[in-house]
Structure 1
Amino acid sequence: MLSDNKLYAINDSGNENVLFCLNTKGKVLQKIQIPETKNIDWKDLAYDHKDNIYVGDFGNNSNSRKDLYIYKISGILSNSISVSKIEFAYEDQKKFPPKKKN
């Protein structure tokens, strides 16, 4: 758990590349712009025990995306944000989009 006792949230597709910092009552305390990212279709948020936050930009409703990412965001607590990008693909997806039966 992040050591600052705050909650973090994201918006879904097409919104700004912003991480929302909230208190435990849900009030937005801060909007944190995440550099070098774009919210194509953000879907999930996770953290590790080293205070890194991970944002999954892998929404793929039309099954046509080839640019799937997980952003690893470091330095949120120290306000010295750095981002690394983990790129991946679905191994069994060969066509974009695949045939309806697949």
Structure 2
Amino acid sequence: MSKKRGSDEGSGTIMVVGVLAVLTVLACSALAYIALLAAGNRAQNIADLSALAGADFSATAQWESVEEKACRAANEVAQENGAMLSSCHCESVG
């Protein structure tokens, strides 16, 4: 006896493959987004650390112009952490 095939035979397999493809795309997108957030957070931390290194020089010697030393310290900290300092300037507090 021959068995009649229905028109939806094998559709479950296609649906599972489709769902797995969608889940794979969503997982890859989520991982890329998390990596982007981590890189941005690392860059912000390096910028803050460099600014603090420069501020340390400018706060300890208020009676002299220390912009060059402060910027050099900030640049060294940035380079040690794999970043590049794009600009540097000191502003007076008072």
TM-score bucket of the superposed structures, by smaller chain = under 0.3
Which is higher, the Rg of structure 1 or of structure 2? 2
Q: Looking at secondary structure, tell me which structure has more helix per residue.
A: 2
Q: TM-score normalised to the size of structure 1?
A: 0.25
Q: TM-score normalised to the size of structure 2?
A: 0.26
Q: Looking at secondary structure, tell me which structure has more strand per residue.
A: 1
